[in-house]
Chain A
Amino acid sequence: MADEAPTAAATSPAPNRVKEKPGPLEYMRRWPLQLIVGLTLLFLYLPLITLMVFSFNTSRRNIVWQGFTTDWYVRAFNNESLLQAFINSLTIAFLCTIASVVLGALAAVMLWRFRFPGKTVVEGSLALPIVVPEICMGVAMLVFFARVMPWPTGLPWPLNLGAITIAHISFAFPFVATVVRARLASFNRELEEAAKDLGASEWRTFWDILVPHMQPGLIAGALLAFTLSLDDFVITFFTAGPDTITFPVKVYSMLRFSVTPEVNAASTILIVVTVILTAVGLNMQNQTPADKKA
């Protein structure tokens, strides 16, 4: 830079480094908005942090801090049914994610690529699971698996989770389709034409050109499907049987009877799992080699 420009002689010897006034649109630097954002974050996080902190409290009652312990974690891990519910939840979420990503990606490509009769109907139906209230969908699943297609009981694990998994896939894959389709909208068709021009078949073009472009959308969709499945209570509540309990349903029944810090401990584990998964997912999304425009 022009550090020895003669005009610099006019500068006062020690420029006072007063913090400059915020620009007119720098709303984040105005105190009323800082206060609102701060209070909102406090509102969002205080309960969660309290919960996590008190999962290490020796006291049974959650209000006073008495001492540090990891006892509740030991108890949670020794609670057979809680552990089983946790494993069930993760398994269902995993299966749901895989199926939802495949179905969602296919649906997205179908809507993005093809013109066909009844397209608006298909599009509208695909949006339905996103819009319909959970309770209605839960009821529908209850009726379906009770009367139309009863899921056999007594199947070995993890086949006994089939009904819940199917229900989860039904509401998760339209979300994936939406995310992937948004990503496809930014695809430059000329890339596909260039690949074909250079001799690639339809199939190779799909794998070599389209799938890499969809990748960030697929990752985001997978993350979404996983958390939606892990998060769901209402629909699961209506499809779960006595021997197919998921973590939220288990916690719900524990809450109904007695609140012990065990639940805090188990919840803390789930929160940590979620945070780690989100971090991994966001990291993967940031590191995708595809164009940075997305």
Chain B
Amino acid sequence: MTETAPIQSSAGRQTSSAEDGVIITFENVTKRFAGVTAVDNVNLQIREGEFFALLGPSGCGKTTLLRMLAGFETPTEGRILIDGKDIAALPPNKRPVNMVFQSYAVFPHMKVFDNVAYGLKMEGVDGGEIRRRVEEALELVKLDGYGQRMPDQLSGGQRQRVALARALVKRPRVLLLDEPLSALDAKLRDQMRSELTSLQEKVGITFIMVTHDQDEALAIASRCAVMNRGVLAQVATPADLYEFPNSRFVADFVGSVNMFEGVLDEDEPDHAVVRAPELAAPVYLDHGVTGARGSTVWVALRPEKIEMHKRNGGEPPKMEDAPAGTNVVPGTIRDIVYLGSETNFEIELEGGRRVKTFRSNLTRYDQEDFTWDEPVWLAWHACSPAVLLS
């Protein structure tokens, strides 16, 4: 698999990598477990004050990366720097990072207060100061007054807040969160999402979160790294990940996508054309692609970026930003899923390929516009498809 090549297929958008403000650097970090490579030569910089998300399917190495940062795993090769200093020699208890565990790991035999105070006691902070800072931390996570409770008297969400307070009270340089929302129910998860972002703004500490949930990453993080099979696939802001994926893997993993294999037919600085056998018309793009003519490429089209028009004998709709005969293909509606706010359609193209498209229900009657087995035109703008070289 080679979905990892960082080729910029989109309009040259690239996240700047300013050297200043970098707090964490992974340098050629590799981790092997008994011959299996969990993390493969990762190079990554995380900046002060970011809310950074490590996103990927389970087993992609994202948790291993986080645990190497915390000191629970040692890299097989490469270096990890915090504030420019190699931390290889530091055991977990000496590192300026703290972690919120997936299971929260709240000590079941200690009161909430003692849980939060634990890390401060280890630092040798004196009693009065501990009391003050613990109260402050509990207030920060809205658990004031819960200090004397035992963890088994708390709900899952409250236990997570204890874990948060316990880590934040140490004032770490970086806070690590391992799948912070995965154990919460749907409603609490939404609430916790916004609380995490506001908490991060309030304390101003760099947060690094591991998650397999792309919605969660897009919603919370200021920057994401997508990982696949131990390799960094793409590092970008949430919007760039979604709109300008650099590989089929990222396009497919983040959001929903229609992917067509094709051949690069024309490639000029101001436009490009891709012919895909499954599409009746060529795909016209309003920007150049850095690829050799005749090479295999993939066109990724997000469902919501496909327009649908009625086709009862009529002419194909004209897309003003693309030459006639491009970016419009005929099809037939095969499936309709009404979701309230929008309706999802599945359209069969002439070759038999099925394509997904979403349509917002702008009025209360929009859902009645189309019906099963209705012939339609599908059309898209020249700036909508992402062309992927890997």
Contacts and interface: CB of A to CB of B under 8 A. Distances in A.
Interface in B6-52: 6, 28, 30, 37, 40-41, 43
A258 B155 CA distance: 69
A294 interface: no
A253 B242 CA distance: 84
A272 B115 CA distance: 52
Given A1-B1, A23-B72, A10 B28 contact: yes
B71 A24 contact: yes
Nearest to B89: A21
B37 A1 contact: yes
Contacts, number: 57
Contacts of B279: none
B4 interface: yes
A7 B229 contact: no
B231 A5 contact: yes
A11 interface: yes
Contacts of A22: 74
Contact of A24 (B43, B72, B76): B72
B203 interface: no
A21 B74 contact: yes
A131 interface: no
A1 B30 CA distance: 13
A257 to B, nearest CB: 55
Nearest to B67: A23
Interface string B186-227: 000000000000000000000000000000000000000000
A30 to B, nearest CB: 12
Contacts of B6: 6-7
Interface string A1-30: 110111110111001100011111100000
B74 A2 contact: no
Contacts of A5: 2, 4-5, 40-41, 231
A10 B1 contact: no
A7 B72 contact: no
B72 A2 contact: no
Nearest to A11: B41
Interface in A105-130: none
Contacts of A12: 28
A24 B93 CA distance: 10
B350 interface: no
Given A1-B230, A2-B229, A10 B76 contact: no
Contacts of B3: 2
Nearest to A5: B4
B91 interface: yes
B364 to A, nearest CB: 47
B77 A4 contact: no
Nearest to B73: A23
A7 B76 contact: no
A20 B74 contact: yes
Contact of A2 (B40, B75, B77, B92): B40
A8 B3 CA distance: 13
B41 A7 contact: yes
A2 B91 contact: no
Given A1-B37, A24-B71, 19 more contacts: A1-B1, A1-B230, A2-B4, A2-B40, A2-B228, A4-B2, A5-B231, A6-B6, A7-B4, A7-B231, A10-B28, A10-B41, A11-B28, A11-B41, A12-B28, A20-B75, A20-B76, A21-B88, A23-B73
Interface of A: 1-2, 4-8, 10-12, 15-16, 20-25
Closest 4 CB pairs of A and B: A5-B4, A21-B74, A2-B4, A2-B231
